[in-house]
Each structure stands twice: as structure tokens, then as C-alpha cells.
Amino acid sequence: MRNFLSANDVEDVELLAQEVLELKKNPFQWKALGENKTMVLIFLNSSLRTRLSTQKAAQNLGMNTIVLNLGQDSWNMEFHEGAVMNGNTAEHIKEGAAVISEYADMIALRSFPTLTDKINDYQEFVLKQFMKYVNVPVVNMESATVHPLQSLTDLATIREFSTKKRPKVVLTWAPHLRALPQCVSNSFAQWMNRADVDFVIANPEGYDLSHEFRGDAPIFRNQEEAFKDADFIYAKNWSSFEQYGQILKTDFDWMITEEKMALTNHAKFMHCLPVRRNVVVSDGVLDSASSIVIQQAGNREWAAQAVIKRILENK
């Protein structure tokens, strides 16, 4: 593998998820692989899990890590070709990406969508501009449309906790006060559609994800109906794709509650975190034994390690 930008860089998602769980058993076995190599992690947005787990993963493989909060500790970067840089951007991505490549053997990038410019976002403008000028392998730490390190983690976690070969997995929209990206949900759908699971989506009218990612997964407008016989409930808020970046539903009746979880087949509750308690999901669910959000977040380390290892090995 040269880059890890989305599920499209992975031939067999189930095989990679197995590698994640294997690495978890013996994380320091490959310490020599990354010796004297440096990973630069670039953040254009906030992060807790991705920031810590990706650094640890690289360090477990013997790499050195440097974190750069772009625009905060460095100059504001210009991404547009031919820009007259008389505004507040001081450095162009042409030099920026090339210079970072001089110091890095691998680069990881987080850059959220604008949620105002649908065309730019869904063309992955920032990531593509970056890829044009970078000279080393790149790991996507959440871009405008996907979050593949999260989705690989999610698949590995489902395999770890599943008692069935083909569990029923429900991706459900949940309420939120802010307009959030579609990335986690797009990406989860893309990975689940390629995995050996029975996958359905529940979301209110106006919140259908892009067909590019949801594929032919059944969509339920009735959340409670979707929950029947579910083995995994994966909750996430996203803003509308159709009415791009808008919040269309402001009440909380899609919040995940214990009553709704009782409709499932003793399902495990999953969320990528951070999560707003008693908005997205009730305390009762999050604090119950059915919630595996902490174990899920823990698996981010092994997922990142499986990806970085494959890139270091170039296979």
C-alpha cells in the first residue's frame, strides 16, 4: 500500500481488520520496521483520539513523530492554484507539502470539509492539492468526505465483539446542535458495504448520505424498526448532504435510549467519539455494559498501526 486515503486503497477490508486484531496481541513485534523514520502528523482541525492513537501507532513501529497544527504553529497555507497571496495565507501548498516531505518519511493529514462548498468538499479539494505536491506516503486522518482509520477500527471492533459470522449492523443518525461532517458515516457505510455484515442505515428524511458511499444499503425512516434484531448500533450525527451542511431536524427524538436499545438483539452500542451525552445518546446507554465506545477508541491505535505497517512494508 502506498497511501491510505479511503477504503479504495484496501483490497480486502476483512483481512486488514484481522491484521488489526493480530497486532493488538503483539504490538511491539515490528519495532525495527520504522527505525530512523519520521512521521509528520498535520492537523487543520481538533482531535483527541486520532492525534494520540496515530502517534502511538507510529512509535510502536519504531518511528519518530512530529505533530504540526497547521495555521496555529505554522503559517496559514494557501491551497488554490494561481492565487494572488495578498490575504492571510503566507505559504502555498506547493512549497509547504514539498518542504514537509523533506523531513518526513510518511505524512498524516486531517482536514475537515467546509460544509458550505459541496463540490469542493466532495472532490476532496484540500487532500488532492496536498497529494499533488507531497513526495512521501500519506495517511488520511479524516478528510472532507471520509475517515478511513475510524472505519477500519470500527470493522475490527465489530469482529472482536461479534458472536456471529454475519452480524446485523445499523448505522443510525442521531441528533446534534452543530452541523457535523458526513465523513464518519460515509466512510462507515463504505467499509460495511465491503464487509461480510448485514448492513442497514436509519436516518430521517433529508439526511440520506451520498450514493457514492451508502451504495445500495437499505435506508429506514423508522429508527425503531431498523433496530429490530440488530447486533450493533452505530450512532452518529451528520448534517444534510442533499441540503448541503444544513441542520434540518432540531428535536431530540432520534436520540439513542435504553428503550430503543431494548428492541435490538442485545446489541452493542458504538460511536466514534467525541459524543454529546443526552443529546446523541442517553447516559443510561453510554454507561451500560452494552456500550463498547472505550474499547472501540482503544482499537484506533492498532488500526493505525496496521495501516502504517503496511505502508512501511509497501504491501
Binding site for ligand CP (CB under 6 A): 47-51, 150, 272-274
Interacting span for ligand AN0 (CB under 6 A) from 2-10, 71-79, 115-123, 177-185:
177-185
Instruction: Kindly list the distances between the CA atom of residue 264 and the CA atoms of 17, 18, 210, 256, 268, in Å, as whole numbers in the listed order.
Output: 25, 26, 27, 12, 9
Task: Determine the 3-state secondary structure of 11 from DSSP.
Answer: coil
Under rule CB under 6 A, residue 293 binds ligand AN0: no
Task: Name the nearest CA neighbour of 13 among 124, 158, 121, 212.
Answer: 158
Overall size of the chain counted in residues:
315
HSE (side-chain half, CA atoms, 13 Å) at 15: 6
Return the bridge partners of 40, or none. 66, 107
Which of the listed partners (ligand CP, ligand AN0, none) does 181 bind, with a CB threshold of 5 to 8 Å by partner kind? ligand AN0
Angstrom distance (rounded) from CA 4 to CA 10: 8
Instruction: Kindly list the distances between the CA atom of residue 278 and the CA atoms of 173, 180, 225, in Å, as whole numbers in the listed order.
Output: 15, 17, 22
- Give the Cβ contact number of residue 109 at 10 Å: 25
- The distance of closest approach from Cβ of residue 137 to ligand AN0 in the complex, given in angstroms and rounded to an integer, is 22
Nearer residue to ligand CP within complex by CB, 206 or 274: 274
Which of the listed partners (ligand AN0, ligand CP, none) does 248 bind, with a CB threshold of 5 to 8 Å by partner kind? none
Nearer residue to ligand AN0 within complex by CB, 187 or 282: 187
**In the stretch 82-121, what mask flags binding to ligand AN0 with x, by CB under 6 A?**
----------------------------------------
Under rule CB under 6 A, residue 184 binds ligand AN0: yes
Interacting span for ligand AN0 (CB under 6 A) from 16-24, 36-44, 179-187, 241-249:
179-187
Residues that bind ligand AN0 (CB under 6 A): 180-181, 183-184, 272, 274
